[in-house]
Amino acid sequence: MRSFLWKSPFPHLGEGWGEGADLHTRRVTKTGKLRHNYLSLVSIFILLQCPVEAGERKTPTAPTDYLERKNQFYKDPEALERGRVLYGRKCKSCHGEKGDGKGLLSEGLDPMPRDFTDRETMGSLSDGQLFWITENGSPGTAMKAHGRGSDDNLPDEDIWKVIVYIRRFANPMP
């Protein structure tokens, strides 16, 4: 029976055109039927057994030393203004003018950017957790790192001031 190899549309899962070159090739026979590699079928079956909801956020919990950190800038009258300026430059495009997660760049993001106006969600996040997310980013989301060593390289003081500003979307200052 004559056949030829068909290259997968998922090249990141494996490479090669040769005989048995990767687990993601399919052999197309003369009759046009596809013969799937056994391991590809097993992989698909496993993936179907583990559904993930669209928009599900799986941000890891910050290390304990971050969770215990306290924001020292709530009483600083200049912190709110500095936080507002930084938010406008670094956060507004995704999180929106009102902090509701509906910024100009938020369309099509999955999950959507965090809604800072949601009192329940924001009440469940410590300042230390927000600091850690801002500093390191949030895997599986569009939230990139803004802390030391990142492209933005924000100093710790500026991250704390952004937190002062975003807290006001859901609550008055603590």
Give the pLDDT confidence of 35-86 residue by residue, as tens digits.
444 444 344 444 334 443 445 667 899 999 999 999 999 999 899 999 999 9
Give Dmax over CA atoms of the chain in angstroms.
80
- Bridge-based pairing of strands 26-29 and 3-6 is antiparallel
Q: Is the pTM of this model over 0.85?
A: no
Give the pLDDT confidence of 6-15 residue by residue, as tens digits.
444 444 444 4
Residue from 76, 66, 65 nearest 161 by CA:
76
Query: Could you tell me the residue ranges of all domains in the chain?
Result: 3-48, 64-170
CATH of span 64-170? 1.10.760.10
User: Residue 51 corresponds to which tokens in the numbers above?
Assistant: 């559904």
